[in-house]
Structure 1
């Protein structure tokens, strides 16, 4: 196969399935259902801007589409910031989540916990006590040199003091809420921001008079805490999800077979993003990891969606002819920023096949699985992830009901020019499966 064969290749793949809304002609990031930015309007969901997630609107629509009720059981095996689980909780449904990133799992845990008026009162009390702390200058600096540079020197001392105060507070839900409020503000107080596949120096760093770093940091914690308190409602209390801080490949070991009504998730996309780099600040400063070994362990347990690790062999029996015999040989002929990309893509789909195999076992007969996923592009070659996942799922035993195109996606200018004639396949979709 060569570049001239690609349009026909993609068209043939699409023709095998019910691909809907596939005549879009412009890319956008403003689709309501898939874009997490719209979560800013919703209580609890707005607490942390987890941009890789989808909105609660999509979750509610999916629940309605499949007629779920309080007797239904929902699973999100890549639960991220817990949108699926939080919506299920409010609706009185039991839910199960898996998340390999301990920071993201912590976000989910705090957002989906039950709270009482007493917990909120204790939270306010801790917040007041934090405002009165006596600052120390003798707290040990991080051994990690990168962490020392993430904050201006005065702000670094302040953040170490705040962390020390929270660390020494008695264990309680109020402590978790304060820790959450604090960790949500770290980026705003730092010299770096999330950008692409990691952190970059801000063009406009935080500004505050000398000696006022604590007030700057506290004001942001207080503001975040106030929004959390405003969102508190006993009506949100319901079934607390079962949350596993581990890989999706441990699904069948922890979930009873044929016990799930709906599996709804968005896996990491095959776009070379390493989430241990994107959430480096929160992972390290929040002490979710304390060594490069801890960080590596998260990487090695996660989906092979990036090239920042040397992956061991696993699921070596995987083979999808359209990928292995057609797309990857063409890709290997191209000039790529790393020659690991073809192997990464093979590993990604091998991992997803194993994940889908385990999901199939846990679904009830007649149960549904919806996957929100984006296609990617390398050297002008689009990787049709949505269709490949549909093909893998079909091989496992799923029925593919629909591939619903949600939006076209925006890519780099270089990729845009190379893929202009086939850009309708550069998209984010929902792959809808049934057992």
Structure 2
């Protein structure tokens, strides 16, 4: 079966870019719209869908577009904000007003380009943008704030700030030729006319796709996926989600430019704290804390400890540190699956899109290890299906792990 699995681009974030609201902002962690649609096909129309790792709100938005009610959770306030913007309905008058206000901003920002306008405190920021490009972006941001207010303070004007976020990344030297991102060799200088035209094109695309009405609704809540049991008034019958993979890639890294420019982040320490709070997060202070981290739950499947021990005993650099990372990842996922039971209706179905990984030649079989946690926690009918091959040179795959929950 492994030898016949294919790399299916339609099941990646790349295919989402041409699917309306899903294409507003490029983020690698976004998973397949088509995959969510496939999982929704057999559901009754009164099904309540939940995604405990909301991310870019793919599940919530697809469910709402199909007329379902959805509830999603995330620990990142920027992603909560972005998800709400993507899942909102907008009137024709509202969209027309945005166009008028943007024209006012564009008529005013050029007069302040040479001033010392605010820019985010991103380390080595001129690696991201040339000095001239930064001046234009900073001035445009000031003019937009005058018209719409700060994004973190006024979520009702989110469309304009999603457009600005996309402008920021498309005028940067970020190169998306890796799983996350790297940098081009040279920082490109963009002329003011080009930046303005690009911004208008981005905005037109967002406003045009925002005209499409959403039939259902999605409630997006800021919540730690390991502490869902704190919720007492929610019951769902379907889980469709894609948690972070145990590959030690920081999702904060790709989010940073957006979060700094929208002021959801003000300094690097905040990014590290957020990454430490997330399942599988390791960046900055998050990595340095692994060696002092302690288990909260000792009753984990033996398969997890066995996998961790193989990594620890390997001769790879930082094998001890990375073995703890893998243990923490599956420990946190176990806590999540335990906490999740409190919001599940009887006979609820779960679908987890996950990926495996390797450390020093040792396979971390995510689907098998999550299945073991599910089994230990009382879930039933656990199955795992390969969705696609993720890498042409390594045995890396994406799986759908499905299960059922019975309260009896």
Q: Distance in 2 between matches of 1:112 and 1:170?
A: 20
Higher alpha-carbon deviation: 350-359 or 331-340:
331-340
Q: Deviations over 1:131-172 (max 9, x none)?
A: 212333222454444234421001111111122222233456
Verify the 8 A CA contact 1:126 1:178 in the aligned structure 2.
no
SS in 2 for 1:41: coil
Q: What's the counterpart of residue 301 of structure 1?
A: 277
Q: Distance in 1 between matches of 2:270 and 2:223?
A: 13
Q: Distance in 2 between matches of 1:284 and 1:130?
A: 21
Q: Deviations over 1:370-420 (max 9, x none)?
A: 000000011111100001101101111111342111112217x6xx4xxxx
Q: What's the counterpart of residue 135 of structure 2?
A: 157
Q: Are residue 81 (structure 1) and residue 56 (structure 2) matched?
A: yes
Q: Are residue 430 (structure 1) and residue 362 (structure 2) matched?
A: no
Verify the 8 A CA contact 1:408 1:427 in the aligned structure 2.
yes
Q: What's the counterpart of residue 44 of structure 2?
A: 68
Q: Are residue 217 (structure 1) and residue 217 (structure 2) matched?
A: no
In structure 1, the gaps of 5 or more residues are 1-21, 417-422
Q: What's the counterpart of residue 9 of structure 1?
A: none
CA distance 1:337–1:102, shift in 2 (3 Å): farther
Higher alpha-carbon deviation: 242-251 or 365-374:
242-251
Q: What's the counterpart of residue 20 of structure 2?
A: 43
Q: Distance in 1 between matches of 2:119 and 2:90?
A: 35
Verify the 8 A CA contact 1:36 1:50 in the aligned structure 2.
yes
Q: What's the counterpart of residue 116 of structure 1?
A: 91
CA distance 1:196–1:100, shift in 2 (3 Å): farther
CA distance 1:198–1:264, shift in 2 (3 Å): closer
CA distance 1:52–1:144, shift in 2 (3 Å): closer
In structure 2, the gaps of 5 or more residues are none
Q: Are residue 277 (structure 1) and residue 253 (structure 2) matched?
A: yes
SS in 1 for 2:388: strand
Q: What's the counterpart of residue 244 of structure 2?
A: 268
RMSD: 2.3
Q: Deviations over 1:232-258 (max 9, x none)?
A: 33532542x22123321232223535x
Return the match for 2:31 from 54, 69, 73. 54
Runs ≥4 residues deviating over 6 A: none
Q: Deviations over 1:13-49 (max 9, x none)?
A: xxxxxxxxx3433552x242x3121112322111122
Verify the 8 A CA contact 1:75 1:260 in the aligned structure 2.
yes
CA distance 1:333–1:174, shift in 2 (3 Å): closer
The alignment covers a number of residue pairs equal to 392
CA distance 1:359–1:130, shift in 2 (3 Å): same
Q: Distance in 1 between matches of 2:238 and 2:39?
A: 9
Return the match for 1:332 from 312, 336, 340. 312
Return the match for 1:176 from 133, 158, 183. 158
Alignment of 1:194-273 (within 5 A): 194=176, 196=178, 199-203=181-185, 205-208=187-190, 212=191, 214-239=192-217, 241-254=218-231, 256=233, 259-273=235-249
Q: Distance in 1 between matches of 2:258 and 2:283?
A: 22
Q: Distance in 2 between matches of 1:307 and 1:128?
A: 40
Q: Deviations over 1:34-77 (max 9, x none)?
A: 31211123221111222222222111211113x231x2211111
Q: Are residue 128 (structure 1) and residue 103 (structure 2) matched?
A: yes
Verify the 8 A CA contact 1:373 1:386 in the aligned structure 2.
yes
Q: Distance in 1 between matches of 2:322 and 2:72?
A: 29
CA distance 1:107–1:143, shift in 2 (3 Å): closer
Q: Deviations over 1:197-243 (max 9, x none)?
A: 765321464354xxx2x32222222111111122133532542x221
The Cα shift of 1:353 comes to 0.5
Q: What's the counterpart of residue 17 of structure 1?
A: none
Return the match for 1:359 from 340, 361, 381. 340
Higher alpha-carbon deviation: 187-196 or 76-85:
187-196
Q: Distance in 2 between matches of 1:98 and 1:142?
A: 27
| Higher RCO, Cα 8 Å, sep 6+ | 1
